Structure 1
Amino acid sequence: MKDTLTPSALYQHCDLTQLVFETTDDLKPLNVPLGQQRALEAIEFGIDIEHEGYNLFVFGGSGLGKHQLVQQIVAERAASEATRSDWCYINNFDDAQKPKVLQLPVGMGQKFRKDMEALTEDLLTSLPSSFQSEEYRNRRQEIEGDFQERQEQAFKQLDKDAEERGIAIKRTPTGYTLGPVIDGQLFGPEEFKKLPTEEQERLEKLIADIQIELQDIIRDMPLLQREHHQRIKALNQEITQHTVEQLIAWIENAYRDNTEISNYLAAAKKHAIENVDFFLPNPTTPDVEDAGNRVAEFHEYRVNVIVDNTDTVGAPVIYEDNPTYQNLIGRVEYVSQMGTLLTDFTLIKSGALLRANGGYLILDAEKVLTHAFAWEGLKRVLKAQQIKIESLEEMLSLASTLSLEPESIPINIKVILTGEPTLYYLLKEYDREFSQLFKVAADFSQVTDRNTDSVRLYARLIAALQRRNATRALDRESVGRIIEHASRAADDREKLSLHVESLTDLLHEADYWAGKSKRGIIRLEDVEKSIEKRRYRQDKYRELMQEQIVRDIKFIDTDGETIAQVNALSVMQVGDYSFGQPSRITATARLGQSGVVDIEREVKLGGHLHSKGVMILSSYLASCFAPDQPLPLSASLVFEQSYGMVDGDSASAAELCVLLSALGHIPLKQSLAVTGSINQRGEIQAIGGVNEKIEGFFDICHARGLNGQQGVIIPTANKVHLMLNKDVRQAVTEHRFSIYTADHVNDVIELLTGQSIGVAEPTGDFPENSINRRVCDRINQLQTLHQQYGNHTDDKKSGTDGTQAI
């Protein structure tokens, strides 16, 4: 069945009686997203459920406001939840390469850090003072005096023994010299040689004995000195311990309820007592240099607060805009000293996963996947439920530098990914771990139903966006026009587009034009101008292609009749702007066996969907006109002056009509253009971009001059998608342009030819002069020719006597 559409069927106006307000300032803003109930329930479920693996993937087309909505919902939920912990890394005094982690109540991390800084400062000032006290000096002098006295006593006793034996011990710069004393005079070598031999031997023996005793005393000196050092060290440790215990008592008392801190303070106290020299001034270096060096020496007493939730209200909500591996997991930094890379636990930095620990982490899925190793790192953390901070080089075994092995941190987090539907389904298909870690999918809708309730809610949505973006208020007529534009954007008069980004852009642009006109509110003409100017800014390529047609550079006829030629309609996409363009399809049909040849496919310019459409029309043609015999036909179809890819099956109805025209030698009206796909029963199926296609052909006809005969044939199923522009509607109202609908290809061919398709009689024949009769007659002619040529070929292959010719 075919029908001619009236102007009222071409556009769905907004009923302004449904909008009971003067401006959007009178409306209560819509605080919940419109038409996203399914997604909202999924998000609520994913946030509430606490089992492992129930992270969320929120997906939908770009511009739907997914990210903003997710942040709003999560922030509201997080605000009512308990604030989580602070996380710190502290020195491991047993193994500095393996720092320990501290989990502290909120605010305690910074407090503990400051307390440890104060303690270190106290140690640096109080310990040197303790070693300069009078008590310490007296006790040390006592030890030093005792040591010196014992040294001197040993040598005095030896001197006395030697003197009694007539031997003198003389100290020289090179050591000790022993010699005999006779009559109070020390004998020299020359005098010694003058003594009798027996006397010399006696004295030499005495000297040897004294020398042995001297050697024993000298050999015992290191032991005596060691004892002396031990006594000094014990004194230092005693003083240190006393001072450190006094200084550290207050911090131990402040954190006595925290076992981990108490254990750390005990280890720090032990380390300070055993390494008291670290706290004492270095007399060999200037004070300024010494102070700088000493600051670097006391990293082991610092507290590295890597997560501070002091200012966080409720659970943390983190959005990481640059989700690299380091920004997600954390990193260990290095400093260069004398050409060497050095690090310690104070150079450990947290990542987004740790900052969001106990709360929510929102990530853009595409950004995570495009950063090297970020996706694998995220999955590893979610599977292990803990974070191990290590450099990427160390993880890949690419670094030979000695690094740290920080203690792993347990994690309890809800990760929310946002992205495109294609990305979600690709991960679902090709990443087996994805379904285990992201078990909740929240699918955002692109459109919502257009009815009285949704129109009123859409007006409130506009009011909410108007206030959020601080634009001028809109009057009722401008809101109604935006709602109509939303239906056009949805390609369905019974739907409304939920593309928040485009709606926001339209408000900004309308506000701009209202300002240019010095108006206090946005009116209908401002919205109209915004839509018109947006199209104008993107319309260069449409105008160039239209100009080629109007100047007859690209051949498109818009009047007259031609055999085997028809106008089809297609949609061109340039960025996010689409427009319609007519294309000429021609066909040839002749005797042969190759069937219908799609030239676009043969030269690899035809897509899969287009090839499918050609195969379907070939099947329909054979089943209708040659169901019981072969179809001896060689036909070809081509889009004329097409130099790029052709895809889609929306031209299959036009291709079938032009093929029937070529077979039956039936002229087709060039004043009409056709769009629609067919199935194997010849039924016309809906296609996309119907508004752009109609407007594209209308623009060509309008440029050449409308004569009342031009129009477009579309599938009946596409009536609900019509939201045509004002120029087309005006032309239809004035009967200068027509829009027809068709349910079957028979309706299309009748409109294109002005002839009857013809219904088969009981005998199986079609009426005279009908389209089907002319096509059948031509096919019968081809069958006869095929048989004649077949017999002639058989005669040539066989001799007159029946023998086979070779």
Structure 2
Amino acid sequence: MANRGLDAEQLYRRCVPESLPFETTAEVEPLEDGRLGQSRAVQALRFGVGIEHPGYNIFALGPPGTGKFPLARHFLTRRAESRPAPPDWIYVYNFEHPERPRAIRLPAGMGLRLRQDMEQLVEELRPALSSAFESEEYQARRQAIEEEFRERSNRAFTELRRKAQERGLALLQTPMGWVFAPLRGGQVLSPEDLQALPEAERRRIEEEVERLQQELQQVLAQMPRWQREMQRSLRELNREVTNFAVGARIEDLQEKYAKFAAVVEHLDAVRRDIVRHAREFLSSGGEAQEPAGGDRSQPPPARRYRVNLLVDNSETDYAPVVYEDNPTYQNLLGRVEYVSQMGALITDFNLIRPGALHRANGGYLILDARRLLTQPFAWEGLKRALRSRQLRIESPGQAMGLISTISLEPEPVPLDVKVVLLGDRLLYYLLSALDPEFGQLFKVAADFSEELERTEENQLLYARLIAAITRREGLMPFDRTGVARIIEHTSRLVGDAGRLSIHLESIAEVLRESDYWARENGNGAVTAADVQRAIDARIRRSDRLRERIQEEILRGTILIDTAGERVGQVNGLSVIELGGFAFGRPNRITARVRLGRGEVVDIEREVKLSGPIHSKGVLILAGFLGARYASERPLSLSASLVFEQSYSGVEGDSASSAELYALLSAIAGVPVKQSLAVTGSVNQHGDIQAIGGVNEKIEGFFDICRERGLTGEQGVIIPASNVQHLMLKQEVVEAVRAGRFHVYPVERVDEGIELLTGLPAGERDESGGYPEGTVNGMVERRLAELSRKLRQSSPPRAPEESEEEEQR
């Protein structure tokens, strides 16, 4: 099987600048809405935004930087512009149940007007009431009521004094109360004189005092009733005066808001409260603090009459589109704030604050799913609101039933909102699997792709995308060479020559940095050289570790051979990715075999440095060996495989073909060329399967060979299915073109072992054996020899055991 290796043209797919029909992107119509390559997501967004049924909220899934947010906002904004502005929502004082503020819905802009009108009413209340209660008419009427009470009590006591005098007694007021005393000659008798009177006279006086005392008690019993009547009359007077002072103002407001029954009803309650608390309002000015030990359950009078404008849409022309950057429970659902007053925390309806759901009510809300899920109680609070279609403001402790302290319980607000969550795919699938309510509330999945098929048409669309980004961010225009280089770079980013990356953030970063270097060079437009310089600078900023590893290989600290031959030793290739920068690294893989019972020991797994996928790849090797070479006899070897000088975990199966080659070399005793490195996965049938990071792996081995000197013998063996992914750097392409480096595609294990050993792999002949001088033949014969040795070394079995085995 001759394998010439790939031609240079197969290692890199160029974008020919002359195929682009413009000189610079200044001539190109920009692709403004960022839909490039997102037809599936666009259809889902259009459907999710258009359908009005409950539960059809949207989850936009895809990697960060793929344009989920701008595209979702674009669709939501377009839809919102066709819908009217949602209503205002206000909270007002509930005079019957102060702990339950009332929510009132008003047309957009009407809430602000009502708040201003109520503030003006409060400002006018005190002067109006002061003027009314200080008027001469009020004072005269009040004095008349008080005078009537005094006259009534005076008449009662005057009549009682007259009766007492007729009976020779005087009515006296003492510190102990009212008493009757006997008179003689107009003088009150002393106790001694009273005792000196005849017994009959004393008894008469006592009887008269007792009768008058009863009449006095009747008079005193009537005094509280007369006092209540006076207070009732005063209250009626105050009510009449208050109604006269503020009634016209409130009636004007009721007429102004006559279409809104809830407002008219509230204004009636305000009128009654003002009448009830007019004197309190005057004495405190409406804003005075409550006295120590007073009732803090109600706010001061003026605060009771205010309007808390929770949602103000007075300056909104259409439905809102809200993005909440910090979706905490309270930022989503609202909160009740508290103020410290005389050592206590108090609140009232004026301290109710809206959340993002209030602001987005009647429109659309965009949230980052990961941020939402990392906030305590926020996810459950959002689901509860969407489920009930109501916004209930309460603390998380109240919502979860963890606290029972007295607080406000604002009336819930009806919720009509479309929620769009932005997150990665793993998060979406985890929520789908673990949260039963997720599928009921987020029925629309908008799946954003991060790559696009590379066609001539899409390359022109890509140029329009570049034009849009440069104009939006104020960058210099890109000429056709710069655009072509960007297109080639995005194919390299996605690791596929036939596709383009549409990771918008990565593209924008390269465009910005290319613009920087173009300005440094004084160019009028960004060229391919500027783009290349930006790419090189990005690599240079991130490749310290790669440089250090290569240095240690060249110094011989990390053992990697690039020439000669070794038995049971193969150069494998791995990829290290740190901070968004990936680079390839050669790894020495060694295999040792000995007599055993079919175990292929993965040393990495034994010491728990192997991931499950890598361990799976090693177990596949035992299946391949047994099926190909020992299908009718025991696999009588014990083999060990290891990544030499590996001090961290190993994961992935991309080295399984290299491990198999090392194992075959060790079994057959055939040396392997160290000038070649290998990457590729293998299955139990010996097929070589595609792997990731093929470009970085080839370049990692090439860099070491270049530093040591290219001999024309070095190269890399890759899966044939990875050829379509090749976008190698120009150094590698030129070295291949000059015949100083090679890239060999293989489809089967046999192709790879021939390249590595220079010997034919061999195929089974008519007798079922492999020819002499072939790698497969040597492997099979060695395994047969090990099997014989194992039988010879085993202890003799009892005859009955032999008979049983033969019967089996």
TM-score (norm 2): 0.94
Contact 1:304 1:346 in 2 (8 A): yes
For 2:9, the equivalent position in structure 1 comes to: 8
Q: CA RMSD in A?
A: 2.5
1:151 partner SS: helix
For 2:805, the equivalent position in structure 1 comes to: none
For 2:806, the equivalent position in structure 1 comes to: none
Deviations 1:417-436 (A, max 9, x none): 00010000011111111111
**Which aligned pairs between 1:109-258 and structure 2 lie closer than 5 A?**
109-171=111-173, 175-176=177-178, 178-182=180-184, 188=190, 198-258=200-260
Q: List alignment gaps of at least 5 residues for structure 2.
A: 800-808
Contact 2:598 2:635 in 1 (8 A): no
CA distance 1:345–1:287, shift in 2 (3 Å): closer
Q: Please tell me the residue identity of whatever aligns with 2:26.
A: D
C-alpha distance in 2 between matches for 1:722 and 1:3: 17
2:54 partner SS: coil
For 1:39, the equivalent position in structure 2 comes to: 41
Contact 2:695 2:727 in 1 (8 A): yes
C-alpha distance in 2 between matches for 1:223 and 1:591: 118
For 1:19, the equivalent position in structure 2 comes to: 20
For 1:804, the equivalent position in structure 2 comes to: none
Which one of the candidate residues 303, 323, 330 is aligned to 1:299? 303
1:794 partner SS: coil
Cα offset, 1:113, TM superposition: 1.1
C-alpha distance in 1 between matches for 2:386 and 2:416: 9
Deviations 1:746-765 (A, max 9, x none): 11111111121223222223
C-alpha distance in 2 between matches for 1:12 and 1:596: 41
Which one of the candidate residues 265, 269, 272 is aligned to 1:270? 272
Contact 2:311 2:354 in 1 (8 A): yes
For 1:349, the equivalent position in structure 2 comes to: 353
Cα offset, 1:241, TM superposition: 2.5
**Which aligned pairs between 1:468-487 and structure 2 lie closer than 5 A?**
468-487=472-491
Deviations 1:224-273 (A, max 9, x none): 22222221122112222233322211101001111111111112212222
Cα offset, 1:493, TM superposition: 0.5
Deviations 1:507-533 (A, max 9, x none): 111111122223332222211111001
Cα offset, 1:5, TM superposition: 0.7
For 2:74, the equivalent position in structure 1 comes to: 72
Contact 2:595 2:790 in 1 (8 A): yes
Which one of the candidate residues 646, 650, 674 is aligned to 2:650? 646
Cα offset, 1:297, TM superposition: 3.2
Q: Which moved more, 1:616-625 or 1:545-554?
A: 616-625
Q: Which moved more, 1:220-229 or 1:506-515?
A: 220-229
For 1:281, the equivalent position in structure 2 comes to: 283
For 1:801, the equivalent position in structure 2 comes to: none
2:310 partner SS: strand
Q: Please tell me the residue identity of whatever aligns with 1:28.
A: E
C-alpha distance in 1 between matches for 2:191 and 2:64: 110
Deviations 1:734-776 (A, max 9, x none): 1111111111111111111112122322222333322222223
Percentage identity across aligned positions?
49
For 1:541, the equivalent position in structure 2 comes to: 545
Q: Which moved more, 1:149-158 or 1:675-684?
A: 149-158
2:642 partner SS: strand
C-alpha distance in 2 between matches for 1:166 and 1:777: 152
Deviations 1:637-678 (A, max 9, x none): 111111211121111211221211112211111111111111
For 2:511, the equivalent position in structure 1 comes to: 507
CA distance 1:376–1:197, shift in 2 (3 Å): closer
Q: List alignment gaps of at least 5 residues for structure 1.
A: 799-806
Q: Which moved more, 1:679-688 or 1:194-203?
A: 194-203
For 1:603, the equivalent position in structure 2 comes to: 607
Cα offset, 1:495, TM superposition: 0.2
1:229 partner SS: helix
Contact 1:128 1:281 in 2 (8 A): no
Q: Which moved more, 1:263-272 or 1:515-524?
A: 515-524
For 1:394, the equivalent position in structure 2 comes to: 398
1:81 partner SS: coil
CA distance 1:627–1:177, shift in 2 (3 Å): closer
Contact 2:290 2:300 in 1 (8 A): no
Contact 2:339 2:347 in 1 (8 A): yes
Which one of the candidate residues 374, 379, 397 is aligned to 2:378? 374
**Which aligned pairs between 1:761-776 and structure 2 lie closer than 5 A?**
761-776=765-780
Contact 1:691 1:723 in 2 (8 A): yes
C-alpha distance in 2 between matches for 1:207 and 1:588: 132
2:651 partner SS: coil
Cα offset, 1:212, TM superposition: 3.8
Q: Please tell me the residue identity of whatever aligns with 2:567.
A: I
2:280 partner SS: helix
Q: Which moved more, 1:692-701 or 1:664-673?
A: 664-673
CA distance 1:425–1:176, shift in 2 (3 Å): closer
Contact 1:341 1:401 in 2 (8 A): no
Contact 1:674 1:713 in 2 (8 A): yes
Aligned pair 1:324/2:328, yes or no? Answer: yes
C-alpha distance in 1 between matches for 2:622 and 2:197: 144
C-alpha distance in 1 between matches for 2:600 and 2:200: 142
CA distance 1:260–1:3, shift in 2 (3 Å): farther
Cα offset, 1:206, TM superposition: 4.1
Deviations 1:32-71 (A, max 9, x none): 3210000010011111111111111001011112112212
CA distance 1:286–1:13, shift in 2 (3 Å): closer
Q: Please tell me the residue identity of whatever aligns with 1:663.
A: I
Which one of the candidate residues 547, 556, 575 is aligned to 1:571? 575
1:372 partner SS: coil
Cα offset, 1:336, TM superposition: 1.8
Q: Please tell me the residue identity of whatever aligns with 1:684.
A: I
Q: Which moved more, 1:93-102 or 1:636-645?
A: 636-645
Contact 2:160 2:216 in 1 (8 A): yes
Contact 1:122 1:247 in 2 (8 A): no
CA distance 1:169–1:520, shift in 2 (3 Å): same
Q: Please tell me the residue identity of whatever aligns with 1:279.
A: F
Cα offset, 1:553, TM superposition: 0.9
Aligned pair 1:491/2:495, yes or no? Answer: yes
Deviations 1:164-215 (A, max 9, x none): 4444445556655644555556655555566555555545544444444334
1:64 partner SS: coil
**Which aligned pairs between 1:97-108 and structure 2 lie closer than 5 A?**
97-108=99-110
For 1:672, the equivalent position in structure 2 comes to: 676
C-alpha distance in 1 between matches for 2:754 and 2:770: 15
Deviations 1:85-105 (A, max 9, x none): 111111111110111110110
C-alpha distance in 1 between matches for 2:213 and 2:612: 112
C-alpha distance in 2 between matches for 1:611 and 1:663: 21
Q: Please tell me the residue identity of whatever aligns with 1:543.
A: E
CA distance 1:785–1:173, shift in 2 (3 Å): closer
Q: Please tell me the residue identity of whatever aligns with 2:98.
A: A
2:283 partner SS: coil
Cα offset, 1:415, TM superposition: 0.7
C-alpha distance in 2 between matches for 1:185 and 1:765: 155
C-alpha distance in 2 between matches for 1:561 and 1:334: 79
Contact 1:570 1:583 in 2 (8 A): yes
Contact 1:63 1:502 in 2 (8 A): yes
Contact 1:7 1:733 in 2 (8 A): yes
CA distance 1:588–1:160, shift in 2 (3 Å): closer
C-alpha distance in 1 between matches for 2:45 and 2:288: 64
Cα offset, 1:540, TM superposition: 0.6
Contact 2:572 2:679 in 1 (8 A): yes
Q: Please tell me the residue identity of whatever aligns with 2:279.
A: D
C-alpha distance in 2 between matches for 1:633 and 1:510: 58
CA distance 1:445–1:187, shift in 2 (3 Å): closer
Deviations 1:389-440 (A, max 9, x none): 1112222344453101111111011111000100000111111111111111
Q: How many residues of Structure 1 are paired with residues of Structure 2 in the alignment? A: 794
1:520 partner SS: coil
2:548 partner SS: helix
**Which aligned pairs between 1:729-744 and structure 2 lie closer than 5 A?**
729-744=733-748
